[in-house]
Amino acid sequence: MKKNKLLCGLVTVLLMSTADAKTTEFGGGANMNKLVVAADVLKNTEQFVGSEITLSGEVVKVCKKRGCWMTLKVDNGEEINVKVRDGDMVFPMSAIGKQAYATGVLEQFELDIEKTKRYLAHRAHENGEVFDASKVTEGMNLVRLKPDAVTILEAQ
């Protein structure tokens, strides 16, 4: 009987702490009803382009200058960029390492080799990283989410 009461008490405390997790929300917070598996999106990108979806992942990078983009590490270690117009939302550097949910429209861009070099050089510059354009040998397919709502889970 004492074990059951103790177990019930522990479960209650765990449930309450999960329910009270603090969040940072932009645009009213992500729409969890539109949550999709990122692996499906990356495998069948064309099916999701132009659709409003919610993706989740760990924030691994944030724009250091204006907080206008962040990179989510999703299924299988792959990454998806989440990009807003400067000033629409400002993602904090403190979001790195936290779980985030972003609701928005999926976009896809085919970049030729020159545009790929400019894009990667710009990203490297924003992050204070070294970029070697000679290592870029082909264009890239850029997939990103243009969000209208984001939820970042804070540590409990």
Question: Residue 73: which residues within 8 A CB-CB, separation 6 or more?
Answer: 57, 58, 59, 60, 79
Mean pLDDT estimate for the chain: 86
Q: From CA 85, how far away is CA 79, in angstroms rounded?
A: 20
Domain range summary for the chain, segments of one domain joined by +: 24-153
pLDDT score of 12 more than 80: no
pLDDT score of 18 more than 80: no
Q: Which stretch, 67-71, 84-88, 100-104, has highest mean pLDDT?
A: 100-104
pTM of full prediction above 0.85: no
What's the topology of domain 24-153?
OB fold (Dihydrolipoamide Acetyltransferase, E2P) (2.40.50)
Give per-residue pLDDT as tens, 94-124. 999 999 999 999 999 999 999 999 989 988 8
| Alpha-helical regions (H) of the chain | 2-19, 38-43, 45-48, 113-126
